[in-house]
Structure 1
């Protein structure tokens, strides 16, 4: 059934400009359509994400940001991005429409390619990926489905050595990976091409793309991927646990140089691979040049499935024992030295070959002359070929190499200046902590100082992050297991201190840390964590207002201890004014309860009112805050006695008795 009939977007014009004419492909995240840019009158490819992804705000934002970045990546082997926008809430990209087919389609038809064809395609792939690496982008999903083989200038895609190769979906795999959670935990990258570090740690850099490109080369040479299994996770872990086999183990007769190339690109340790696509490209070109020379001198191996026999191939003249050194044939018109893309072509030698002279029946007397000329031309050609081979061999083996400069311990700016002066570019890997190298200075480099390296190559530099220190995280409210995990992730040791009772923090939850949160520690240092023991078993009673004797008895009954503090107060003496902890608080047995106890009101000095008129004495006492009680025979007489006597200390409002006569 033609599924395009049911696609409602067919025939739709997007943003009044892009008229969709057909569907090209449908993937897990988006569908690609063929469209016409009616403003410029050119065919384009329109990629629009599925409605199920439109609700993922993080994915949509990342999709848009990555598209803008890719649009600035201009390279003849990169599928260009022209425009981006939204249609009915769904983000879309407008891209270059490549007339051709994917490398996956090509392999499905041909099974495998000749070494020269495979290297010709790989060179253009790596040129595109290298441009992305220089711009700070990592593809993360290099596979045949993302490699488009366009029609060659001569027409058709069967001429693979001369075909134009373009790489698609730069950065979009990262947008998907950063925003999509697969319930099965399956990797977003296609497992057949996934690098070990992406499986183990989920980390990717330029060397991750190098690994995937090596797997693509393996598949082009052998017609299959190195690992297969029913479970995708099992395939992914085979990349971690096994070395990629040599292609010649599956296809006998493949040159050993190709085995070495695949092996270097697919090392399980990223540090042992070429540092980026540009460095791998240099190695591929060197191998292709070597294979081109060998091919011109020798070899025809068994034909590749799907490739017709070519009458221009050369019959091998070497013994059968040397068959493993032979190279599959390349048609004379497709020799890599002459039809390599312009960005990868070495200087050509020699002029055009003239058409052979046709001898007629009436010219037998010139045969000897022509034979001599042919002999002389052959000798000259052999001499030139020897010189070219010797020169090329010297250049490939010696001349193009130099010693890598030492950039160790140099600050970033100084390292870049030194590298540029020596003719090298720089690529920065992930930083590394160092106790000896200052922050933002070079702590390591690859290739190392003094190592032989191709002139003009890119050096991978690792900058120091300074001494490794980590701030103690705020673990308040976390349970013990979570707190321990948080500390161990930072390389800090967990130690559990003496627990404390708490009325507010549940049992087993962090109350405090030592040292406190925010303190910077080195890995291996210890953080003491105090956990809550929950609410204490004894509830403190309310003692305020009680007499101190009563309060003491109450605390003794509960197994608690009173700690008393006297306070000045207008309240009666020995009355409890306040307590700590507050009533209702949970405490342990023998805990101290602090009680503030009133010392009573301040005392008043009784004035001497003897021999004063009684009414005057009364007024004097009342003015001192005392109460006068008049007795005797004459209330209006004179005071002959008072009790308490003069200058005694009594409480305010205490009565003073007066005897008046």
Structure 2
């Protein structure tokens, strides 16, 4: 039936605005279509719930309420929700269309990822989930199908490290999960990633998402989920009964620090996990830095949530009983599976409803039968005693035996703290540093757990190092707007003062020209930085005067209120022609600014030499050698008797000298 609805909807326009152009994916609760928002002329993803869910009033109300909530959750790693409404009674969401593919598609293609790639994807996943946790939302269905990835166009091993990751289905996951169960008494869960507390009592909080994220990390590193089984409920209860195995036990060569990271996130006791996705993100970042993984810079992702053909869908398992009903269930030791210890709804068909086998008729008392009855009682008593010892021992180990006290690492240097912690059997993670004016830089300021706190033997201790007295370098702000510059300085606790503005031919009015003190200068919180802003281009523009006569140039500059300075120099240009100027043409200046003009004196003068009384031909050649021209008058084979201009006269180059030649 749903397939028919999907085929029918293609080509239709919903709410007079969203024209459906194709189906992208179909999940257990809703179908996702590609659509065109004809009002804004953009491609969107439209998710509409299945008709089978439309009769569930509780689900529909929460779907609508959570759509409004998630629409306010703005984060670059969260698929945005634009709109919501109803079509033929079926609620729908309009979401950001993201071009890419799901993490499930990626794992189906590549099986598993390298540690560098896995941590890069996990960081952005946790950033999105942490934003939801800060807003009071719990995703409740973190899995590869709800994680969208766009690989970098460059390809190669670095493509996933440079990819953008977006998490989808926040609102829908919360709507279908509700707080415990829905109106039909069913609890929604993707059993491969479900947290133990959600299986046991239906309770979910931020730590539930941390557990699922840890399982996703396990799958990215190993190419498989921790548990498998024929029945969903069997898989779900393995999360309750067993610790998630170390990834290195499946893929040899993985760093042990990744084992500890997975173990931290997938503790069966929620209180032993990071408190939320933000806390887990800090540990992931510390691990990534320890492995030398480059920080992830992202680009735009373009893919809608989900993909056809995925098999790991959100499943329905029967609702959990009340807390009172489960309170009497004894604890199950790790690694065991005891169907009798589970609520009836959680047992497989062959585990529940069995009748006890028919007992044989009682043997007469006394004699051999009485002997065996006494022996059975002794054996039974011994077994009960052994079981009591085992239970007490297990309880002691779970509550006290596996714990020890965290060592004292405060005020040690990083090297000392790491060495001492390892000597005591602990690993150390270095978190982001904090300023402390009273503690030398590099010394341990904070440790978690604190000195003497309870900690599992061999667990991880996070240390926060002192950065010493707080100082900040003045950032490079040239060319920035005033508001941005002020925000940058105030963010590092520096005061801002606005200095006297200056004209600039290159910076628009209001932009920062410079700072006092200069960029890079280290200041303490509360110190003042003066911002010198551009007043824009000065009001008078220098005209282009090159090639004009000096008299005309003087007039133009005087009309604009500018002063003139003149420098004469020899030139092949005509005398009194402007051959250069400072400032250059187009420069903005204030009134009374001095403009220096370079003026040609004309070509250099040549003093005419005396060539009379020489053969006329020889005299003409001599004049030409001086850079002058010669014109012979009379007999050219005679002697030059006269010349005009006469000897000693200064003349411009190429001046024609008249020679009078006769015998």
TM-score normalized by structure 1?
0.45
Between structure 1 and structure 2, the one with the greater Rg is 1
TM-score normalized by structure 2?
0.45
Which protein has greater RCO, CA pairs closer than 8 Å, 6+ apart? 2
